[in-house]
Amino acid sequence: MKNLTIILIRSILPVIFCLAVSISHAQKLTAGEKKELRKKEDTLKVLSANMVFDEDAAVRFRSDSNFVRTLVRALKVKNSFYYSFDSLNISRLYAPDSTFRIFTWQLKKDEYVYMQKGAIQMNTPDGSLKLLPLFDYSMYTMRPLDSVRGRNNWIGAIYYRIIEKEYQGRKYYTLLGFDDFSVNANKKWLDVMYFDNNGEPKFGGPFISFKEDSVKKPVQTRFCIEYKKEARTQFNYDPEKDMIIFDQLVSETNEPDKPFTMVPSGDFEGFKWQNGQWVHIERLDFNYMLKDGEFPMEATIMDDAGNVNEKQLEEASRRNMEKSDKKQPATPAKKPTTPPVKKPGGQ
C-alpha cells in the first residue's frame, strides 16, 4: 500500500503542476489573443503532422518550411508565450522558472540523414516576441562532446526534460533529449544550457565529470548514450533522488565498439549535481525492485501540458522508411553489414 501511494503521488503531482501552469498562463491571454492563436494552431497542427509523419520527403520539407513561417507569425501575437500549442507534433518545454520555453522537432531527409530544428522563446515583460532560433550543426562536426556551442552550432536533439540548477549565482538548465540518429541507432543527450551576459544561450561546458569513476576520464562538455534502434532505454531525471538515471548498456554481440549493438544490461548508471557539475556514478544500487511505470517518470517527449512521445517519433521515422524497405532486403538486426550513419561528419 505504501508503494502504491508513492506511485500515485508521483503520477498526480506532475498533472497538478501542469494544470497550475496552464491556468496561470491562460490568465495572461485576452479572449482576442486566444482566438487568434487557436486559429493559427489549427494550421500548425496539420503542418506539424505532415512534417513528422508524411512518407514523402518533399512534403516533409515543404511542411517544415511552412510550419516555421506560420509558427513565427503565431508567436508574434502578444502574450503568445502563455499559449501552450498543445496539439502540435513537436516538443514544447517550459523552463521550471518560466523564463523561457524551447521548441524542438526533427526533420527526416532520408534513411541516413535526420536534422533537428529548434527555437527558444523568451518570456518578455511586455508580451512581445523574443525568439532565438537554433541551428543543428551535428552534421559538420566530428567532436560533438568537447566544445561549448551557441545557437548557430547547436548539437540538435528533441528535448523532453529541463532540470534547473544554480551555481555561484548563475542558473543552469540541463536538457535531456532524443536523437533519431541513424538507420541502426538512436542517441539520448544530456546538455547543460545557460545564458551569457548578452542573453545568448550557451550549450555545454565543463559540466560532465567522471572524477568518482574507478577509471578516471577527462571532463566532458556534454554526454550521450548511443544504442540499438530497437532497444528501449531509460534516460531521465528522478526528482526524489535528485539524480539523472539511465540504463547501463552492453553489446548484445560482444562488440562494444559498435554502438548499434548496445542494449540495456538491467543495471543503472547516473549523474548527481555537485558544485556546478554532473558527477558520474558508475552503478546505482536500489533497495527495491522497480515496478512497471514506477521509474523513470516522464519518459516521454512532452511539454508541461503533455504531448508527443518518443515512441511516436521513432515509429514515424520507421513508417517513413517502409516503402524503401519493401524494395530491398532488411538489414539483420544483430549484425548490420554497414556502420550507422546519421550525417556527414557525424560522430
pLDDT digits (tens, 9 = 90+) for 15-42: 334 434 443 444 589 999 999 999 999 9
Mean pLDDT over the full length of the chain: 80
Closest alpha carbon to 190 in 146, 153, 154, 236: 236
Most confident of the ranges 24-28, 37-41, 144-148, 289-293: 37-41
Sign of the torsion formed by the C-alpha atoms of 294, 233, 325 and 307 = positive
- pLDDT tens-place string over residues 213-252: 999 899 999 999 999 998 999 999 999 999 999 999 999 9
pLDDT exceeds cutoff 60 at 66: yes
Q: Compute CA distances 236 → 196, 247, 295, whole Å.
A: 26, 10, 9
Region 309-329: mean pLDDT is 45
All 3 cell numbers of residue 150? Answer: 551557441
- Identify the weakest region by mean pLDDT among 91-105, 232-246, 319-333: 319-333
pLDDT exceeds cutoff 50 at 110: yes
Predicted confidence at residue 28, as pLDDT, reads: 83
pLDDT exceeds cutoff 80 at 162: yes
- pLDDT bin (cut points 50, 70, 90) of residue 142 is confident
Predicted confidence at residue 303, as pLDDT, reads: 37
- Identify the weakest region by mean pLDDT among 39-43, 161-165, 320-324: 320-324
All 3 cell numbers of residue 263? Answer: 542494449
Q: Please give, one letter per residue, the 3-state secondary structure of the chain.
A: CHHHHHHHHHHHHHHHHHHHHHHHHHCCCCHHHHHHHHHHHHHHHHHHHHHHHCCCHHHHHHHHHHHHHHHHHHHCCCCHHHCCCCCCCCEEEECCCCCEEEEEEEEECCCCCEEEEEEEEECCCCCCCCEEEEEECHHHCCCCCCCCECCCCECCCEEEEEEEEEECCEEEEEEEEEECCCCCEEEEEEEEEEECCCCCEEECCCCEECCCCCCCCCCECCEEEEEECCCCCCEEEECCCCEEEEEEEEECCCCCCCHHHEEEEEEEEEEEEECCEEEEEEEECCCCCCCCCCCCCCCCCCCCCCCCCHHHHHHHHHHHCHHHHHHCCCCCCCCCCCCCCCCCCCC
Place of cell 553489414: 337
Predicted confidence at residue 286, as pLDDT, reads: 64
- pLDDT tens-place string over residues 48-63: 999 988 999 999 999 9
- pLDDT tens-place string over residues 185-209: 999 999 999 999 999 999 999 999 9
Predicted confidence at residue 113, as pLDDT, reads: 76
pLDDT exceeds cutoff 70 at 44: yes
pLDDT exceeds cutoff 80 at 98: yes
- Identify the weakest region by mean pLDDT among 2-16, 225-239, 298-312: 2-16
Region 165-177: mean pLDDT is 97
The more confident residue out of 305 and 268 is 268
- pLDDT bin (cut points 50, 70, 90) of residue 139 is confident
- pLDDT bin (cut points 50, 70, 90) of residue 267 is very high
Find out whether 157 and 177 touch, Cβ atoms under 8 Å.
yes
